[in-house]
Structure 1
Amino acid sequence: MPALTAPSSRAAARRRAAAPVLTAPAALTALAVLAALLTGCAPGRHPGSARPVGDAAARQLLERRAAAVLHHDKAAFLAGIDPRAQRFRARQTAVFADLAAVPLAAWSYTLVREDAFRLPPAADGTRRTAVEVRLGYRLRGYDTEPVVSTAYLTLSQRAGRWYVAGDDDGAPSGHRTAVQLWDQGPVRVVRGAHSLVLGLGDPAALRGYAADADKAVPRVTHAWGSGWPGKVVVEAPATLDQLAELLGASADGYRDIAAVTTGEQGANAQAPADRVIVNPEAFAGLSAFGRQVVLTHETTHVATRLATTAHTPLWLSEGIADWVAYRDSGRTAPEVAPELAADVRAGRVPAALPSGADFRSTAADLPQAYEGGWLACRLIADQWSPGTLTAFYRAVAEGGTLDTRLDAALGLDRAAFTARWRTYVRQELT
């Protein structure tokens, strides 16, 4: 399938289709104990439940578990799992092995609440309870601060000792333990000059992701500047279904999306690096040029996240990512924006800059939204300067109205900028 020509392939080359709501880079399961960030539900208590585990006992259990994961101590890790929870123990044994190659720099648990949710005794009368736990982990050489999330673990007490007995029966209704890459199989690691690829499946494909990411990083730094780590982590499941599991979403919603970037928006200087997660099926259908565009676009999101806040409109965040990706491509505007070009030739010039709703995966004109955002950013870079564009992006994140920021950067209010953008779209696409 030629990249960036048909609507489906163009959507595949775009960032995160409708901005999936992810609060941390890919949630870990019970071994990883990283689940989707739970809301403040107050689950009920089971009548007749035994007394909860004490803080000290739970903390000691979690400290031993964290040390075992970090130091690859299988015996110590298994010693903390309920010996009678055979299915859970077997699953944890496999996941422990699948995690072995991941270059962990840190792994720690924080007990948020003991007795977070009381459970009925097991069939043999064993006391059980659930604890709310927060995991922090860092990848060596890539994360400056821990990636953090929250989960509920089931603990059981036997002969006065507490064990981890499960991860799927202590969460409040409506929540579930999310899936991480090492829950899906053995993780292979490929190290590039500017990238770290954690993946499943074909090693040659993983090396290809690393090569594309290594080309993307210098391009992003050239356009955005050096105010970011200058490296990227790519996660590569082997199938579309595995991608959907990682994102806790329907596979249909990501079928035509080649890659997504996880992470919270927010100007937090201590935020960990994002992860770029590849959809291997859509990615494989792209040309070499399309694959490079995808990873350069996603890497731009990694670089700009610390300067991206709720004040940043999607046309700007997506537009600048495409501007970086296509900046030195040599492609004409109609080649890069074929859907919007077709609309313009038919007399349908957009009346307004793309809205947030225009970037939803179900939006009828999703490709046109990306193309319109790209042209808005290209307009600023062309008629002012690339430095004006990046400075404007950073200024918008600091707050204030968009009119104020446009006036300060360009000497135009939103209405005047929109009018100039409409003229530019018409001129460039006809």
Structure 2
Amino acid sequence: MGRHAAPARRRAAGRARTPLWPFLLSFVLVGAAIAGGLALHQSSTEADEPAKSAQKTPDIDLAARSAAVDKVLKRRAQAVLQDDQAAFLADVDPANLSLIERQRTLFTNLKQFGFAKLAYEQLSQQYDETVTSKYGPSTYLVAVAMTYQIRGIDSVPVRSMLGYTFTERTAGRLTLVSDQDLDKRLPRGSHEEAWDMGEVLVKRAARVLVVVEKGQQQLATKLTGLATSAVKAVSKNWPGGWTGSGVVIALDDKIVRGADYTVPKNAEDALAMATWVYRTLPGEVSGSGERADSYVVINPHNRTRIDARTLAHEFTHVATAPYGALAPRWLVEGAATYVEFLPMDGAADLALGKYRQEVRTKYLAKAKSLPADGVFFQQPDSSYPLSWLAVDYLFERFGGTEVVTLYQELAALGSSQAERDRIMTEHVGLTEAALFRALKTAAAS
């Protein structure tokens, strides 16, 4: 993928923690959107779907149908905000018991999140001959944007996607007959939300929201405590102060939002991933969408290994998510690791001086450059320590305010090596290559 499309899963350090150092085993998932976003794939069985559909159903008043869908979507959003389950289910096919049950669970889940704002908006009609054959000529398969703002969590309204299939079972009334027909066409990372995954339990604290499987109260309480400590640590240690919130999703499902723990390397090595939350969806303004924030998804295989430092690492990714997607990977992961390793309430202080010397001896001495984006996750055992060392040097020499300003500009504009070097020279007087040489010089002295 190009730089404007988000890379896929990130592999972190794949070895166990040592007595000296709680080695990093966490990821940032910088989006997982497919370039093209809202230009969803059309069915391969119909090359000219709109024209053919119009020929098959000449009696359909398209404007009236669109208005009817708008009414259904508005009714469903209001039902959640007003705690009216009957209204939420009113337009669901009563003969489809499994759909009714899924929608009832969805409503119960959505109510727990506490939305300050919620709206559904139809985006574009999709065409699929198989779906039309199943439900009849009045079938309307549509991509839908869900715009929401969780009270006390999202600083701005954000968006995700879903797909609905409607048909006209009685004259003049549309019925929702499926909520799954479009799932495989939707951009990765912009759907499959926590509320879509079956019955969940949502627990809140100040600036924290935790989602677990229904009934897992003990896990929810533990993660809420860890997340609260991590939020405080990032707020204290990230220069300028972070005032955002931490969302932690710890479900049994292996694919949630953009996180995919069915991938063997992810399943084995990753503890958690920070997944993008979109202010604009992929394809609306840019191919990869505009980030507003990130939610953290924990690997169900490694759930017992999560601690406050791991979440502090991930919440640093959350704090920096709005900056953009173009910063070099060594800065992205180095900054998160830098904050993770700082003194934190409730966690033992780490032997930073000893670790710094170990990184210089074990990794820097053998390295030829800072970890490159393309190979960063192929060599995580060295990439993470070297990235931490580089950011540690920048903080020590230039101070936190300058590092954050550098990060912000690189994330927004660092689309090429020339741009990265220009920005770095402007802010710290060093290119990436010169920074690496400075690390070597510091180690020698």
Q: Which residue of 1 aligns with 2:330?
A: 315
Q: Which residue of 2 aligns with 1:352?
A: 369
**Which shows bigger deviation, 376-385 or 389-398?**
389-398
Distance 1:113 1:101, change over 3 A: same
Paired residue type of 1:152: G
Q: CA deviation at 1:207?
A: 1.7
Q: Which residue of 1 aligns with 2:437?
A: 419
CA distance in 2, matches of 1:309, 1:92: 35
**Which shows bigger deviation, 402-411 or 297-306?**
402-411
Distance 1:145 1:265, change over 3 A: closer
Q: CA deviation at 1:380?
A: 1.1
Q: CA deviation at 1:302?
A: 1.1
Question: Is the CA contact (8 Å cut-off) linking 2:291 and 2:321 kept in structure 1?
Answer: no
Which one of 410, 423, 427 corresponds to residue 428 of structure 2? 410
- SS of the residue corresponding to residue 143 of structure 2 reads strand
**2:41 counterpart of 1:41:** yes
Question: Is the CA contact (8 Å cut-off) linking 1:265 and 1:306 kept in structure 2?
Answer: no
CA distance in 1, matches of 2:274, 2:165: 31
Question: Is the CA contact (8 Å cut-off) linking 1:41 and 1:172 kept in structure 2?
Answer: no
Q: Which residue of 2 aligns with 1:30?
A: none
Q: Which residue of 1 aligns with 2:175?
A: 163
Any gaps of 5 or more consecutive residues in structure 1?
Answer: 25-35
Q: Which residue of 1 aligns with 2:7?
A: none
Q: CA deviation at 1:223?
A: 2.5
| CA deviation profile, 1:311-357 (whole Å, cap 9, x unmatched) | x111001101111111233323554797885446xxx5210111112
Trace 1:9-408 onto structure 2 (pairs within 5 A): 10-12=23-25, 14-16=26-28, 19=29, 21-23=31-33, 38-43=38-43, 44=46, 45=49, 49-50=56-57, 54-114=65-125, 121=132, 127-160=138-171, 161-170=173-182, 178-200=191-213, 202-226=216-240, 228-237=242-251, 239=252, 242-247=253-258, 249=260, 250-255=262-267, 256-263=269-276, 272-285=292-305, 291-310=307-326, 312-328=327-343, 329-332=349-352, 335=355, 342-343=362-363, 349-360=366-377, 363=378, 365-399=379-413, 401-408=419-426
- SS of the residue corresponding to residue 142 of structure 1 reads coil
Aligned-residue CA RMSD (Å) = 3.6
Paired residue type of 1:409: H
Same amino acid, percent of matched pairs: 25
CA distance in 2, matches of 1:37, 1:173: 10
Q: CA deviation at 1:208?
A: 1.8
CA distance in 2, matches of 1:100, 1:325: 33
CA distance in 2, matches of 1:72, 1:426: 65
CA distance in 2, matches of 1:81, 1:266: 29
Question: Is the CA contact (8 Å cut-off) linking 1:11 and 1:366 kept in structure 2?
Answer: no
Q: Which residue of 2 aligns with 1:33?
A: none
CA distance in 2, matches of 1:265, 1:342: 39
Q: CA deviation at 1:374?
A: 0.7
| CA deviation profile, 1:256-313 (whole Å, cap 9, x unmatched) | 2111111169999x95432111224324135xxxx12211111111111222332x11
Question: Is the CA contact (8 Å cut-off) linking 2:201 and 2:216 kept in structure 1?
Answer: no
Q: CA deviation at 1:426?
A: 6.7
Distance 1:96 1:172, change over 3 A: closer
Distance 1:265 1:49, change over 3 A: closer
Distance 1:301 1:112, change over 3 A: same
Q: CA deviation at 1:205?
A: 1.9
CA distance in 2, matches of 1:340, 1:266: 40
Paired residue type of 2:247: V
Question: Is the CA contact (8 Å cut-off) linking 1:4 and 1:336 kept in structure 2?
Answer: no
Q: CA deviation at 1:121?
A: 5.0
Q: CA deviation at 1:372?
A: 1.0
Distance 1:60 1:174, change over 3 A: closer
| Normalised TM-score (structure 2) | 0.77
Question: Is the CA contact (8 Å cut-off) linking 1:119 and 1:170 kept in structure 2?
Answer: no
- SS of the residue corresponding to residue 386 of structure 2 reads helix
CA distance in 1, matches of 2:33, 2:41: 17
Distance 1:171 1:96, change over 3 A: closer
| Normalised TM-score (structure 1) | 0.80
CA distance in 1, matches of 2:155, 2:185: 34
**Which shows bigger deviation, 409-418 or 317-326?**
409-418
Q: Which residue of 1 aligns with 2:6?
A: none
